[in-house]
């Protein structure tokens, strides 16, 4: 049987997988970034054990991409979002973060607190 801490970490991983793969490819622009970030937060916070999600849609990075193309939007990828999440399961709090690690959006544990 997994420990409560292991189960809490598993729950955090499920939430990140859902967040990333549900929204990857969504059209995004600097104008829609804030509302998209809120929708992502609210969507994931509906899931069991998830108590807080903070999504920062990086309009600075979006603007850089848009400066080199004619379209007024781009597709959401990990390079455009920084995410922090808190999951609580059976008395264990898991804090996680997703941020770019080179060219890869790395989802990682920040803390596991019993």
Taken in order of first residue, the domains within the chain and their CATH numbers are 4-113 (3.30.1300.20)
Give pLDDT, residue 74: 97
Question: What sign does the dihedral 72-77-81-87 (CA atoms) show?
Answer: positive
Burial 68-83 (b: 16+ CB within 10 A, else e): eeeeebbebbbbbbbb
Question: Quick one: tokens of 114?
Answer: 């019993």
Residue 73, φ and ψ in degrees, nearest 5? -150, 170
How many Å is the Cα radius of gyration of the chain?
15
Q: Identify the DSSP state of 71.
A: S
Give pLDDT, residue 50: 97
Q: Global pTM?
A: 0.92
3-state secondary structure of 23: helix
Give pLDDT, residue 44: 97
pLDDT digits (tens, 9 = 90+) for 35-85: 999 999 999 999 999 999 999 999 999 999 999 999 999 999 999 999 999
Question: Quick one: tokens of 19?
Answer: 């967040």
pLDDT digits (tens, 9 = 90+) for 25-39: 999 999 999 999 999
């Amino acid at each position: 049987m997994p420990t409560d801490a292991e189960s809490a970490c598993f729950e955090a991983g499920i939430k990140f997988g859902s967040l990333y793969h549900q929204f990857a490819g969504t059209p995004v622009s600097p104008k829609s970034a804030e509302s998209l970030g809120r929708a992502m937060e609210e969507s994931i916070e509906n899931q069991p054990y998830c108590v807080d999600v903070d999504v920062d849609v990086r309009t600075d990075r979006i603007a850089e991409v848009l400066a080199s193309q004619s379209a007024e939007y781009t597709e959401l990828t990990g390079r455009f979002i920084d995410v922090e999440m808190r999951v609580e399961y059976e008395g264990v709090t898991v804090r996680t973060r997703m941020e770019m690690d080179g060219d890869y959006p790395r989802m990682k544990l920040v803390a596991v607190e019993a």
